Amino acid sequence: MNRRLNIVGGLFGAAFGFVLAAAQLHEYDTIHRMLRFDEPDVFFLMGSAIATSLPLLWLLERRKARTLYGGQLALSRSKPERHHLVGGALFGMGWAVAGTCPAPALVMLSSGAALAVVAIVGLFIGLHLRDRHAIRMVVGDGEHREIGPVLESATP
């Protein structure tokens, strides 16, 4: 079970990295041009990703779809709190300065750009610092939901 899930994780990661690289999202210039409003492509890209997945997930949720390894589809929704605003603002600042975000930084490195190492190390440092300072964990929204019980209860 764990082994199968690992392979699934690796494959989805590879597909994700492949699309990011093919769309040049790992290039500082691409992100910078978007944030300067020189070119709308990345906004459209994010918008069309949401426009594709949101209705499909909605429909699957309504139909109580069963997932392959995780039991009944469980989407997670949470109320906005202060840490979303502060964390989001810090993230946006860093994103604008470094011109990359967590997944594209990995792709930047695998495309041959050496300075991506600095971005990746910096991300690890930042995540680690927050872990040390955090009063409580953020569970339930975004992607850090794996701390929750979903997977443990979902073994077929």
Positions 48 through 67 that interact with another protein (CB under 8 A):
48-54, 56-58, 60, 65, 67
Min. distance of Cβ 4 from another protein in angstroms? 9
Contacts of 116 (CB under 8 A, 6+ apart): 26, 100, 105, 106, 108, 109
Positions 22 through 41 that interact with another protein (CB under 8 A):
22-26, 28-29, 32, 35-37, 41
Q: State both tokens at 9.
A: 């994780």
Q: How far is CA 31 from the centre of its chain?
A: 16
- Decide if residue 13 touches another protein (CB under 8 A): yes
- Decide if residue 2 touches another protein (CB under 8 A): yes
- Decide if residue 155 touches another protein (CB under 8 A): no
Min. distance of Cβ 156 from another protein in angstroms? 11
Contact 108, 100 (CB under 8 A): yes
Q: Can you state the angle between helices 116-133 and 82-98, rounded to 10 degrees?
A: 160
Positions 84 through 143 that interact with another protein (CB under 8 A):
84-103, 105-116, 118-131, 134, 138-143
